[in-house]
Amino acid sequence: MIFEPSDYIYDTLVDTHKIYVSMKHYFKVREINNEGLIYLFVTGSKERERINTQIRVSLKDWDLEKSRIKSNSFVNKDLNLVLDNIDSKITKIKTAYRLSERVLTPKILKKELSQNTPRVSFMTFFKNALEHERSLMEPGTYKRHFSIYKKLLKFKEDILFSDLNHQLIDEYRIWCKLQNNASTTIASNIASIKKFIGLAKKAGIHIALNLDEVKVGNMRGNRTSLNVPEIKRLYKYYKSEFIKDTDRLVTGYFLFGCMTGLRISDLQNLKREQLSDNQVTFISKKKKKDQSISMNEIAQDIVSFEKDLFVLKFTDQYLNKQIKAVCLNIGITKKVSFHVSRHTFATTYLRAGGKIEKLRLLLGHDKLETTMIYSHIVAAEANEDIFRLDALLR
């Protein structure tokens, strides 16, 4: 017997010998305590699985011939939509397994349905894998991946593994640009997507997309930093009598970052008793390494001036929001986030004559190439200063 594609498109072809395996499914109501409970039955390859849909229905409302609920109410219509959705998921599972030449049995189908089709839907896998990896991630990393997951849902409600190709990645890049996302944000999104596609491949899911050919792009962005007059202005405002108490704390944390180069995650973990003997000793949250940084006189003054510094803490989001407001309030119009304090430390250190090799150690960078970006920034500033000769000679 010869099968046309239309005959087996919703069934699976088992292994490379392409053995045709018929698999059927149907809904059936079982009476439990004078009430009908709908079960899904899946049969094939001499196997039979029963799945409880958790849908209860009046026995008189069940249409045995159509295997659906009689649509005599809005509730019944909605319940039929749930059954239609289950049908649709089964079709997706069968199609995906057939296209990837994977064996599908009633038992496997039952497992896929019970897990909301994570081996068929990339979006479901993304969410499940993210929750599984959550305990291994920093809270900020989890939030970043989860926000990308939610953004993907806005881009396309469901993405199957069979949908993953270069065209889809390009379409997502274009969609992100239309949302006015910065190029660094888009690159970060693509990196996250690549991570979870990679996890899926490790789990044995067939994906036609070659990850090596998916280029992430530059995620570093511009190294915005404050110049010396701006740091002085912020320091003066920190010690003024006009600043609000909460703003003083936020500004104090930011200025301490400008003097030490600590990441926001490490600043958040510091306790005041750790700032003894003019030394900051901590374990870097990102690198998991011991670090020790000396506090200069200004850093010591920042800590001693505000007794609640490193006692009262704020969320990362609040710190970022308030430091923007503080800077705008004193006329600093640059795009400031808390990470700018780290860039400010690096560029100020080099302006003061510090060595790039020592800066690498202070910032906790593994590679000198990562630190070199700051030397390029300072070199660019030096090139701008050459135009001062014009004013001098004129």
pLDDT tens for 220-277 read 666 789 999 999 999 999 999 999 999 999 999 999 999 999 999 899 999 998 887 7
Is the per-residue pLDDT at 15 higher than 50?
Answer: no
For the chain, give every residue range classified as CATH 1.10.150: 122-213
**Among 6-20, 136-150, 167-181, whose mean pLDDT is lowest?**
6-20
Q: How do beta strands 35-44 and 23-32 pair?
A: antiparallel
Q: Does CATH number 1.10.150 belong to domain 122-213?
A: yes
**How confident is the model at residue 387, as a pLDDT?**
66
pTM (two decimals): 0.58
Quickly name the fold that domain 228-385 has. hpI Integrase; Chain A (1.10.443)
For the chain, give every residue range classified as CATH 1.10.443.10: 228-385
**How confident is the model at residue 340, as a pLDDT?**
94
Question: What is the rounded average pLDDT of the residues 130-146?
Answer: 89
